Chains A and B, each alone.
Chain A
């Protein structure tokens, strides 16, 4: 198992964000992490990235608890913007290069080009869509073992989504694990092969998507509706 959480729980005050989640992820797969807002996706990912500590339970990367060392091999893209506004796209790359040994400047340049971003643009001048693309480019410029992208399709127009999907697929490999979370379920339907559904902090299931299509004729989105359609009205 490459990335695994065992009975992991995270409380924020009295609120349980992630509730005893046991989830094992193998290399060679692209996982979609699904669930409405507040279902615990981001919190789970941040624990996997080693950015926040679990209240109880354990998160492991290749059998060892997630720590500073595992962060060298796990590339995580959060939903929050995290660059200084004076930085140019080129500066962002340098900044990453300083932090991560597996960062490749060549790969970053190639990704920026694919996404039609100019290196001299300042981050404060970027539209939200351009910023989203920049974050993906700099994350995938690392040669990490795990890529976790939180909402990679948010704010990105239809055509650019095709480019993003291609870049994601090119980063996939047998010895790597990819994890994507998105509200745009349809965008991940064909590129993910497994889906983890979280509901109110609890893992409902982690499913093989082609198996589900073959055996039940259900798409990832259908299953999403099955799991959440009753509760959503109640929670709103």
Chain B
């Protein structure tokens, strides 16, 4: 799972424009899913094709989070997200009649500030889109694309840029390991009744570049994590939100863990352990224990910004703390998303996303 289900929430919110009714929106959306392609196990992912859009599916996203530091060692977080949502199945209609809607989120987090921006675009006219080869995802002047200065490097060398009120960033990304297929060879189950998505990640990006913050240039470098996910099945109506972690261990290992909170009390938990060599191991529900620690008032809600996270099979027992507890994305569908650090059995940093609070 990844934060990107937020796309569904956001678009559900758009469709009804009554944020309080967001969860109810899923029933309606579920009905409309007929006509779209469904995620089924056993279908191998193909690259670079799957970096591009999947118009047969209802929703998908391109997503990057990065933990960075400046010369003085101060922590920064950066987010870049592009969602596509088809409002009706079938071949994309030309021009303004296109059923695709694109949504971009960008954010920059420091210990004292959390800046974000949101932008929307209709499909069909060129304001936003994604091409697989060469890879290029864009909305307005935000881009996430293959590095033109490194031809032939494919998806291992990318550039990313975005801007918003008070910030503007441009970074280079480089990875030396192949992408990680989440779940069962990229088929990622999301609920006990079989809802699923296709999901792969590139958690091994090194990132560096320049952030302009309130007009001041800051050189930053660090680690980044990219997610790609596509699906046609919304969450179950009883699934009210989620908590999702992407963690970079100081050893070079990576961990992705999520929990879908269910009204019935039976949460859905899953994850993937990725060794420093890229070897991966899927984690089951009972292997993962997530305990909220620090209920904190954020933007009029109470959000657990600190967690105790245990993965028994890997001997992991850590506690996370946010770089900035107020990493609140007050976008169309608001959520908490920001950089974190963790200590305990292991050390490292990563990103946390929490929705439905």
Chains A and B come from one and the same complex:
no
